[in-house]
Amino acid sequence: MALLSVLTPVLALVLCLVIGFLFLRSRDAETTSRAPAQTKGTSKTDFRPWVDQDLLDDTEITAAGGDEDEWVDGDDDEEFAHVPYSHPRYPEETMLQRSDNFYSLMNQRRSVRFISSEPVSRKVIDNIILTAGTAPSGAHTEPWSFVVVSDPKTKHQIRLIVEEEEEVNYHQRMGDKWVNDLSKLRTNWIKEYLDVAPYLILIFKQAYGILPNGKKKTHYYNEISVSISCGILLAALQNAGLVTVTSTPLNCGPQLRLLLKRPANEKLLLLLPVGYPAADATVPDLKRKHLDDIMVHI
């Protein structure tokens, strides 16, 4: 008995160490699943004041885990020879004219929820996806998958999933800060355009790749890369005279991924209903920030 009472503290101490170890592992698992080098990166930067006083968010994390900082398309000398680069060169007047015209075109773009059911040529959609595929990406991983849905049944299944989740958001996920948005959420609840639009484009980011040996290969900057390609996609839609509304369905990604049979390394980033605007389409009469409010020149 005396022996036991002497041993108990030792046992308790062991238990204590085990629990500590478990928490440590769970934390590592959590972070490494997102960015292998985060712990390394931050531990190095902890001593540097400007890091402490700055926001610590994923850009930092991703950056810390990044292979290289430049997105030199597939810059792998072993893989690719370097070739001379030729590029269209315009006189200054032409450059001004072209940049003016492109700005006016893009400035007409608006998020439109009232989409016509009128069919749209598949060839145009193909060109638009090809254009999105010209975006740069970290280490030229091209970590995007574009799922173009025109099948009415699938579109309707997508609508059911999105609307059901909206309801869950409404009933379960809303914190106090959302109370004021009730009415707004209600109006957003019904997504008729998911049935009506001739195409739904679901953009998936590939969070990691699979190497020949079956191991996971992290795709650094995959969210930034795919978002950039979506920016080019939106430009291509506008250029072709089509409209969409940029949407990120709350928590629908996993169900939609299964519905569309996408692999586990892919994650839904955006859902874009695409078509011509409805004849009676309206948009909020908003203004955009002025140049001085978004640009600083040094």
Residues between 6 and 25 that touch its own copies (CB under 8 A):
6, 8-9, 11-13, 15-16, 19-20, 23-24
Binding of its own copies by 263 (CB under 8 A): no
Owner of token pair 């959302």 = 178
211, amino acid identity: L
Measured CA to CA in angstroms, residue 209 lies from 12, 93, 144, 220, 254 at distances of 44, 45, 11, 10, 18
Minimum distance, C-beta of residue 210 to its own copies, in the bound complex (Å) = 14
**By rule CB under 8 A, what string of x and - marks binding of each residue 168-207 to its own copies?**
x---xx-x-xx--x--xx--x----------------x-x
Work out whether strand 216-218 and strand 266-274 pair parallel, antiparallel, or are unpaired: unpaired
Binding of its own copies by 210 (CB under 8 A): no
Binding of its own copies by 163 (CB under 8 A): no
Asked whether the beta carbons of 266 and 141 are under 8 A apart, the reply is no
How far apart (Å, rounded) are the C-alpha atoms in residues 172 and 154? 26
- In degrees rounded to 5, what are phi and psi of residue 104? -60, -40
* Residues 86 to 125 in contact with its own copies, rule: CB under 8 A: 87-90, 92, 95-96, 98-100, 102-103, 106-114, 121-124
* Residues 213 to 242 in contact with its own copies, rule: CB under 8 A: 221, 223-224, 227-236, 239-242
* Residues 120 to 149 in contact with its own copies, rule: CB under 8 A: 121-124, 126-136, 138, 140, 142, 144-149
Instruction: Tell me the two tokens of residue 188.
Output: 């957003």
